[in-house]
Structure 1
Amino acid sequence: MSEASTEDGTRHEGPEGAVRAWRRLADAAVLLDGFHALKHALRFGADVPVALATDRAAALALAADLAPDVVRDLDALLVEVPDATLRGLVPRLHPTGVAALAGRPARADHLAALGRTGRTTPVVVLDNPRNLGNAGAVIRLAAGFGAAGVVTTGSLDPWHPTVVRGGAGLHFATAVERLAVDELPAGPLYALDPEGADIRGLKLPDDALLAFGSERSGLSADLRARADQLVSLPMRPQVSSYNLATSVGMTLFHWSAHSTHAPQQNVAPE
């Protein structure tokens, strides 16, 4: 196919029309950088008005091999453009030679999901995170564990293209928002801190907020004051800290081991 739909329902004919649509939409859209980001966005209902590939046949073959459930959608969306053209549209072309734009989910919908009464899965809170790639890895973990969402405090934009790239497009599988500490959703807040109680002796509630400080400075004073319980992870003496995403993964795994609401299916990593 050589045409795809724009967000207003019109069609863009061929590569030139697709590139024009990209340039018109890029400033307000979410960049999906690479095949896997596009695959996940489609699986979780993202609105994708334009998708480009340097080798359309190769991208569809990759989908047939790794994600046959999205082949039909990709066949309808993907428009082939020259390598140089796509490199001129994205900051750093993904090795799969695929990029797309998606509409950002409504903030009101995310806030409603995060604040829903009777949540059955935790919300991950990243307190003033600094590293864009780490933030993306956390969102990918949270989506995999079925967390209700990921909230960041501070200046980092959780929808920055580098974060979305690190999250492999799984921002669309959970609620991702930036809030102030005093805007956090309700629920018992368990904050990770070296001085906290050993997590192995705790059962984390399904509606918990699981808060993690930055690797450099730890928890902010505001977040620490909001915490209902400080929690620590087991760690060998003289080791300074775990990577942020590792800490989140360990904590979510501990929650999942004691919850009936955690995902039960075992799958191979992709």
Structure 2
Amino acid sequence: MDEVEVERAWRAGEREAGVVVLDGFHALKHALRFGGEVRRVVTADRSELLGLARELAPDVEAALEGLAVALPERTMRALVPRLHPTGVIAQVLRPFAEANREALARRPRQGPVVVLENPRNLGNVGAVIRLAAGFGAAGVVTTGEVDPWHPTVLRGSAGLHFATAVERVDPAELPGGPLYVLDPEGEDIRGLPFPDDALLAFGTERHGVSAELKARADHLVAVPMRPGVSSFNLATSVGMGLFHWMAGRPPGTGPDGR
């Protein structure tokens, strides 16, 4: 394909329902590694991209060789708001909501579902998804207006949306399982193990979890904090909650349940 054809194909992809943009090699690597449906890959330097794959992710090199096409950097900068330093962008089809909801509802689960009630900070949501994928959580659901597939969230997750189920749901549609709500008034987390099929719910840093969600909780759980400290960062709190779950599993048990 020549330059005009590549740009035309990208512009056509922008109009496809469910297509999201990934920027950077690591986000693309994760999408390929975890089964994302990658439609097209555009790079400023094809040989450099394939060399990067050969060095850091040889498992995706063959796929990239068949997908990657080159465009001048000046043209790429017209396609995306901000070009990643690795000079690669990709269009990937996000999983259908029905498939994500089915994966989240499936039980028994081998890992908890993280619930973010009405999150505000897009970067924090991306960091939470990255944590959830790394720990082997079953998924991340959000309530409220923020789209967890927003480009800024995708950037924060490094493409690890494709390694776990990510969806926005109505509060009444939360997956099944015992609900553990992180709240300063709860019982000390150190004395309360989290089961594999738990829902771990986190509120906003300013307001915490709503009274409505707390009323539905099976357990209120508190992470001890030094007096005078008002809150932890959202992603930090989720990381502590997921580590607490993982620490309660038998030694040698990995994030994939084995």
TM-score by length of structure 2 reads 0.95
| CA drift at 1:118 | 1.0
CA distance in 1, matches of 2:107, 2:64: 37
What per-residue deviation string (whole Å, max 9, x for no partner) do you get for residues 201-243 of structure 1? 1110110000000111111222112211111112211112111
1:26 maps to 2:14: yes
The structure 1 residue matched to 2:169, chosen from 179, 184, 207, is: 179
Which of 190, 195, 210 is the aligned partner of 1:200?
190
- 1:100 is aligned, of 90, 111, 122, to 90
Runs of 4+ in 1 over 4 A off after TM superposition: none
Unaligned runs of 5+ in 1: 1-12, 266-270
User: Kindly, what percent of the aligned residue pairs are identical?
Assistant: 65
Helix, strand or coil at the partner of 1:48 = strand
**Is the counterpart of residue 65 in structure 1 residue 55 in structure 2?**
yes
| CA distance, structure 1, for counterparts of residue 132 and residue 2 of structure 2 | 37
Contact persistence 1:190–1:229 (CA under 8 A): yes
CA deviations 1:100-150 (Å, max 9, x no partner) are 000111111111111112112100000000000000000000001111110
Equivalent position of 1:219 in the other structure: 209
Conservation of the 8 A alpha-carbon contact between 1:121 and 1:262: no
How many residues in Structure 1 have an aligned counterpart in Structure 2?
A: 253
1:143 equivalent among 87, 109, 133 = 133
2:256 counterpart of 1:259: no
Structure 2 unmatched ranges of 5 or more: none
The AA in structure 1 aligned to 2:44 is T
Higher deviation after alignment, 254-263 or 117-126: 254-263
Question: Which secondary structure state, in structure 1, belongs to the residue aligned with residue 220 of structure 2?
Answer: strand
Structure 2 equivalent of residue 77 of structure 1: 67
Contact map agreement 1:40 1:170 (CA 8 A) in 2: yes
How far apart in 2 are the matches of 1:211 and 1:78?
40
Name the CA shift for 1:262/1:251 in 2 (closer, same or farther; >3 Å): farther
CA distance in 2, matches of 1:155, 1:165: 19
Contact 1:18-1:50 within 8 A present in 2 as well: no
Is this contact kept in 2: 1:50–1:100, CA < 8 A?
A: yes
Go from structure 1 to structure 2 and tell me whether the alpha carbon gap of 1:264 and 1:188 turns closer, same or farther (over 3 Å shift).
closer
